[in-house]
Structure formats: C-alpha cells, structure tokens
Amino acid sequence: MSDTYLINKPFINIVTDPIMLVNDQCRADITCIQCQKLYQIIVDIKAIEKYRDGDYVQSCFPSMPATQREMFVSGVCSKCWDAMWDIEVEE
Ligand SMILES: [Zn+2]
C-alpha cells in the first residue's frame, strides 16, 4: 500500500495509516485557506479515489455534511464561510 492519494488541491493532504486502511479509510487533513485551522476528516478511500479521478464531491461523499464538502471544494471552513456571509448582510 502506498500513500499516494494525491489530490490536485494544495489545502488537502491525504494521510493513510495501516489501522485506517484495514477499514478502507483514510484521513483528509484540510487546512482552511482563510483561518489556517487544520481539520481532520476520516473518509472512505474509495470515495477519495473517485474524487481524485475527477468525480463530483456530491457523488463521492453523499453522506458528508455540506460544510465538510465545501472544504473539499473551496478549502474554506464553515466558520469562515459563515463569517463571509455575515459581512455580506451587514449594513
Ligand atoms: Zn476557516
């Protein structure tokens, strides 16, 4: 088993270890591009492979909360996402 689950997004780092691999899982370390906070999300390896191969995030991670999916797509965490909307509705 290699650890080459490279995804063409600089804020995503896929980490595998033998214990997670037993369950066909790996960890996605995603650093928010706004606040630089590190989020660690356990995901299915097959889903990661689908995503790496260019499938849509919705079809790769159907049970994932929308806030986590957004991190895969844009690298912005839910807190920063909410903050952006707060700014927009401010008067
Ligand atoms: Zn953030």
**Is residue 74 a part of any domain in this protein?**
yes
**Is residue 67 a part of any domain in this protein?**
yes
**Considering its fold, how many domains does the chain have in total?**
1
Amino acid 70 reads E
**Is residue 66 a part of any domain in this protein?**
yes
Contact 46, 24 (CB under 8 A): yes
How far apart are the CA of 45 and the centre of ligand 1, in A? 25
How far apart are the CA of 40 and the centre of ligand 1, in A? 13
How far apart are the CA of 82 and the centre of ligand 1, in A? 9
Amino acid 4 reads T
**Is residue 81 a part of any domain in this protein?**
yes
**Is residue 21 a part of any domain in this protein?**
yes
How far apart are the CA of 89 and the centre of ligand 1, in A? 19
- pLDDT at position 90 is 56
Give the residue numbers spanning the domain of 80.
12-89
User: pLDDT tens for residues 24-79?
Assistant: 999 999 999 999 999 999 999 999 999 999 999 999 999 999 999 999 999 999 99
**Is residue 38 a part of any domain in this protein?**
yes
